[in-house]
Amino acid sequence: MEEEWPSCLDEYEKLLIRMSKPRVMIDDAGCSNATRLMIDTERKHGILLEAVQVLTDLNLSIKKAYICSDGRWFMDVFHVTDLNGNKLTDESVLGYIEESLETVHYGISRGIEGLTALELTGTDRVGLLSEVFAVLSNLECNVVNAKVWTHNGRVASLIYLKDNNSNSQIEDSHKLNKIEKMLRNVLKGDNDIKSAKTSISLAVTHTERRLHQMMFADRDYERKPIIKTFDDSPVVLVQNYLEKDYSVVNIQCKDRNKLLFDIVCTLTDMQYVVFHATVDTSGDRAYLEFFIRHLDGTPISSEAEKQRVILCLQAAIERRASQGVRLELCTSDRKGLLADVTRTFRENALNVTRAEISTTMDTAVNIFYVTDAIGNPADPKTIESVRQKIGLSNLKVKELPLIYHEKVERDEPRPTRGGGGAMLLSLGSMVRRNLYNLGLIKSYS
């Protein structure tokens, strides 16, 4: 099959890429409860993110990972399952994974072509999404795909549109300007005059990475929520290992799908390079350790920078955390569908904390996470009333996909949420152990 190349590459650049093409090996027999993927490639900034992005886009759960960068080469080992915790046995699936991983060196963005991309950031409030979709419906815009995240009282959304009249990308500059202006007014509301932003994006980009970038630029990590919605906040510690000029980042948090992507995405966009890393999950917990430096090869240089890294990584983990009841809408697509559904949420004082909108073959498949107006679990009677109005067969309450993790005994005790001194001591042992495993010190005893 002939390779597809970005148009910006000349023949010499294509030759260099062929020479440094990643080598991918898949082992489905060496691990009893996961499929092992090994990637060996030339090191460049962002290559780890590209590999993890491929795996998460394929809805694979990463149970373990070992990352090592030595000189010009980069080696990743991932232990993966499907979302139900099963090993991957379908040969066609394994072949597709191998083919996808062999393209990570291209650096191709995976966005949605042929549609108008609309970016929105502002202050979250009950009914905001309803107002946004109502404006788009009135302006004869059809929402084909969208993702909405909220965190610390802020909202970021990337919405892909087409014109209802032409059934294609919106190219009328007057109409685009009108969309931006009207939605900016909606986002401003009564109290967000300065920070509300709307823009038309011309670049084809990876949607979820762009959402991280938008919330990072909005500095959501510095803002405090009105109420505390995370009972199990991630624990992040940053220490410098000066002998080897590394900064070591330790993270302990609840495990979930796409966790590694969210963390690596944030480190990459903050201009840090991951040289070595380990990821391990046990039960519903995840333990991650990263050895990082700046692009210029220096470690984190100040206490203020350490605190910023901690806040940014905590925010990256929390943004995708599923707050509220998961509602799935599956029905025939029609004009004004999203405006009608989200208006019903608003009329019943339900706040949408996260949304994933998609349309395939004239069928709308939409996922909403909803809470009450102040972020508490929604009343089941309210949920049932909303379902009655929208259609019991169309709107269903769904449980989150299960990620199974076999519980295995470890030689060393896991860090706990106890006292800070005990946590630091345990993580220090992990640092020494992993430095030893990576060949960076002679002993960790």
- Phi then psi for residue 73, to 5 deg, are -115, 155
CA distance 394 to 386: 11
Predicted local distance difference test score (pLDDT) of residue 411: 38
DSSP string computed for 373-401? TTSSPPPHHHHHHHHHHH-TTTEEE-PPP
Q: Which residue reads 């090592």 in tokens?
A: 68
Beta-carbon contacts of residue 25 (< 8 Å; ≥ 6 apart): 37, 38, 40
Torsion angle of the four alpha carbons 123, 125, 127, 130, in this order, in degrees rounded to the nearest 10: 20
- Phi then psi for residue 169, to 5 deg, are -55, 140
Beta strand 141-151 with 154-163 is antiparallel
Predicted local distance difference test score (pLDDT) of residue 265: 96
Give the DSSP letter of residue 146: E
DSSP string computed for 9-42? --HHHHHHHHHTPPEEEEESSS-SSSEEEEEEEE
Strands (E), 102-153: 116-123, 141-151
Torsion angle of the four alpha carbons 368, 369, 370, 375, in this order, in degrees rounded to the nearest 10: -150
Predicted local distance difference test score (pLDDT) of residue 104: 73
Predicted local distance difference test score (pLDDT) of residue 183: 95
Predicted local distance difference test score (pLDDT) of residue 109: 52
Burial of 282 (0-12, 13-18, 19+ CB in 10 A): middle
Predicted local distance difference test score (pLDDT) of residue 413: 41
Q: Which residue reads 């991957």 in tokens?
A: 88
Beta-carbon contacts of residue 189 (< 8 Å; ≥ 6 apart): 122, 123, 125, 128, 196
Predicted local distance difference test score (pLDDT) of residue 90: 87
Predicted local distance difference test score (pLDDT) of residue 422: 43
Query: Within the chain, which residues score under 70 in pLDDT?
Result: 1-10, 12-20, 70, 105-112, 193-194, 202-204, 225-231, 399-445
Contact 145, 111 (CB under 8 A): no
Give the DSSP letter of residue 141: E
- pTM value is 0.84
SS3 238: strand
CA distance 390 to 396: 10
Specify which residues 122 forms β-bridges with. 155
Give me 74's structure tokens. Answer: 């980069």
Give me 308's structure tokens. Answer: 């910023």
- Phi then psi for residue 141, to 5 deg, are -110, 135
Give me 323's structure tokens. Answer: 């707050």
The CATH number corresponding to 116-205+323-397 among 3.30.70.860, 3.30.70.260, 3.30.470.20, 3.40.1790.10 equals 3.30.70.260
Give me 6's structure tokens. Answer: 């970005």
Secondary structure, 3-state, 191-218: CCCCCCEEEEECCCCCHHHHHHHHHHHC
Predicted local distance difference test score (pLDDT) of residue 383: 96
